[in-house]
Amino acid sequence: MRRFRPSIRLRLTLWNASVLALVLIAFATAGWLTLESVLRDRGDATVRESARAIAGAVVAERYAARARGEIARGRGEAARNALRELRTGNLDVFIADEAARVVAASRSPVRPRPGSAQPVIPVAVARPADRDTVNMPAPVRDLFREPSKTGDVVLRTVLIDDVPWRAAVIRLAPGPDNAEEPALHVGVLRSDDEDMAVLSRVRRTLFFAIPIALLVAIVTGYAIARRSLEPMDEMAARAARISAATLDERLPVVNAHDELGRLAMVINDLLGRVDVAFRKQKQFVADASHELRTPIAIVRGEADVTLQRPMRDEHEYREAIAIIRDESVRLTRIVDDLFLLARTDAGSPLDRRERVDVAELLAAGVRSVRSIAVSRCVALECVLPTELTPVLAVNGDRALLRRLLLNLLDNALKNTPKDGKISVTLTATVQDVAFVVVDTGRGIATELRPRIFDRFVRALPEHDGEGMVVSSDAIASGAGLGLAIAQAIAAAHDGQIALDESSVGASFRVTLPRA
């Protein structure tokens, strides 16, 4: 079975819905717990303060009766009088003695009691209460029998007909100077059915509101994600149409300041670099084919001419073989240069790294071409610092660095006229080592300078009077690769080569980091 891989817009929608669901659930849970706590605290405060108020009223009635000089007409008369004057609202009030016998009671208005088919009729408080006619629930009776200190309010939750009631009980001391007024217990009960109804409504609201909110969030989130990612679909379609023949096309940039716009600009820049690299590659292949075609054609032509006649003398054979050998050497040179540039493009031109003394390298390179300079009547000098302590060294491939120097010297020799001069100067700083190859030749034409390090770029002979041409007479390697190879070698050693401004001839500066 293929593994299901959802799209980005679907993943964004699901993540958004999941986060929203967690937030809504956390918010609903916190709100539910807060509401439940508030309702519970409100109910506790109601029964507690009501119990204290009724107890205070009973005590006040006792003192008032004593102040009037009245003698209680019956047990609990002060409690009944106090209860008769108070409004208990939706509270059930029971006042009982130490034996849990009802002295006075007041029930909430007639309403259906949870768990009971018939409503409970309130007790008439205008006459003495009879414990046989007042239906005190057993849980309340048990609560009255619990020991408690005078004046302390005891809060309990009791179940009456499977409905939780919040009860508050307070104990009153016996009446002052009156044995007929015994110690009393005042109990106030409040049903939790109203709070439960409120919680039930809130629960139903949340039960329907959260799924609806999630559904709306999923629909709107998917629509927003789809609309936001439409430019990406267009970019993908446009990119799929781009091929090697249409690298000049670019992706549309709807908004350059958002993420997709920046991505499109980066891809466009990448396409531009790929286009440039592809064009250079095509040009490189074309130039390489042209350069390789010439020596191959010469070799084949000499072989054909030699084989056309059945008999030739030794001199003619030797001359043809010499031409074939020279062109083979040139062909080998071009192939080696192309191979070196290919290794440079691959990023691994260095076979090894070692400590190379730059002064020794320059001196050896100048000595190796001195005979060529003498044959062309060109003065050649190497200017080194008078004191080389410490040794000016770099880390690199000695053979490649020698190749770099010889390419520059070869380029200078082929462009310096008779009685000219070539100098190699070594300088150094704390971080770098630099050497400059300066000649007094014809220099580099202005229009050729920006492309002097490109591959297969060469100058025409001076008598042609033109400044730039591609694939013409050789400067260094014979194929216009000498300076390109020198630049590649310098870059492989974390250095650089530059063409300095010079009033006469050409000046090439190579800078390498010190070891």
How confident is the model at residue 436, as a pLDDT?
A: 92
pLDDT digits (tens, 9 = 90+) for 86-95: 777 778 888 8
**Beta-carbon contacts of residue 269 (< 8 Å; ≥ 6 apart):** none
71-85, 205-219, 443-457: which has the minimum mean pLDDT?
71-85
Is 48's pLDDT higher than 60?
A: yes
Is 370's pLDDT higher than 70?
A: yes
35-44, 376-385, 457-466: which has the minimum mean pLDDT?
457-466
- DSSP assignment of 464-488 equals G--S-EES-S-SSSSSS-HHHHHHH
What does the block give as tokens for 413? 């020799």
Rounded to the nearest integer, the mean pLDDT of the chain is: 77
| 437 neighbors 499 (Cβ within 8 angstroms) | no
How confident is the model at residue 459, as a pLDDT?
A: 64
Residues 21 and 209: their CA atoms lie apart, in Å, by 11
Helices 77-85 and 8-68: crossing angle, nearest 10°?
130
What does the block give as tokens for 19? 């986060």
72-86, 190-204, 341-355: which has the minimum mean pLDDT?
72-86
Average pLDDT over residues 189-196: 83
Is 44's pLDDT higher than 50?
A: yes
- Going along 84-207, which residue ranges are E strands? 92-97, 102-106, 153-160, 163-172, 184-191
| 442 neighbors 262 (Cβ within 8 angstroms) | no
How confident is the model at residue 509, as a pLDDT?
A: 92
Strands 379-383 and 354-357: unpaired
Average pLDDT over residues 8-21: 84
